[in-house]
Structure 1
């Protein structure tokens, strides 16, 4: 198994606009959670701390294998979501690890 964690900051002119964009990201990724082969678990959350160093959105996922994660990266549903959300995510941090 491999775990894939991504954190983003999102675009917005104010806190309410960032919140709307964060919820849009959350909904888009939740919509593909059952459509990706080898994806065992997907959680996506919006930050509740509102501290200045926190990211706005986090995606936590588990895949059967490195190959499944590689397949996710190019899967049509994932690429569609990435294109749909283009420009909303302004900073990205990622960690992939094997526990």
Structure 2
């Protein structure tokens, strides 16, 4: 199993705008559930701490194998979601581990 974690900071001049952006990222990634072969778990969380160093959104996923994670990167549904998220994010951090 490979765990794939991604965190983003999103655009927004006000807390309400940031929350709307974060919710859009959340719903976009949640739409992938059941559509990606080898993706066995998907969770999206929104930060509730509001500390200045926190990321706004976290994606936690589990894949059956490294190959399924690699296939996810170019899957049409994932590419669609990346397009939605592209203009919304201002920073991205990632960790993959076995």
Using structure 2 for the length normalisation, give the TM-score. Answer: 0.98
Partner residue, 1:55? 55
**Unmatched 5+ residue regions in structure 1?**
none
Residue correspondences, number: 98
**RMSD of the alignment, in Å?**
0.6
Instruction: Kindly report which structure 2 residues correspond to 1:62-73, keeping only aligned pairs within 5 A, or say none.
Output: 62-73=62-73
Q: Shift in Å at residue 43 of structure 1?
A: 0.1
Partner residue, 1:42? 42
For 1:88 and 1:13, locate their aligned partners in 2 and report how far apart those are by CA, in whole Å.
12
Cα displacement string for residues 28-64 of structure 1 (whole angstroms, at most 9, x for unaligned residues): 1001111000000000010000011100000000000
**Unmatched 5+ residue regions in structure 2?**
none
Instruction: Kindly report which structure 2 residues correspond to 1:84-99, keeping only aligned pairs within 5 A, or say none.
Output: 84-98=84-98
Using structure 1 for the length normalisation, give the TM-score. Answer: 0.97
For 2:61 and 2:22, locate their aligned partners in 1 and report how far apart those are by CA, in whole Å.
17
For 2:83 and 2:91, locate their aligned partners in 1 and report how far apart those are by CA, in whole Å.
16
Q: Shift in Å at residue 84 of structure 1?
A: 1.7
For 2:93 and 2:80, locate their aligned partners in 1 and report how far apart those are by CA, in whole Å.
20
Query: 4+ residue runs of structure 1 moved beyond 2 angstroms?
Result: none
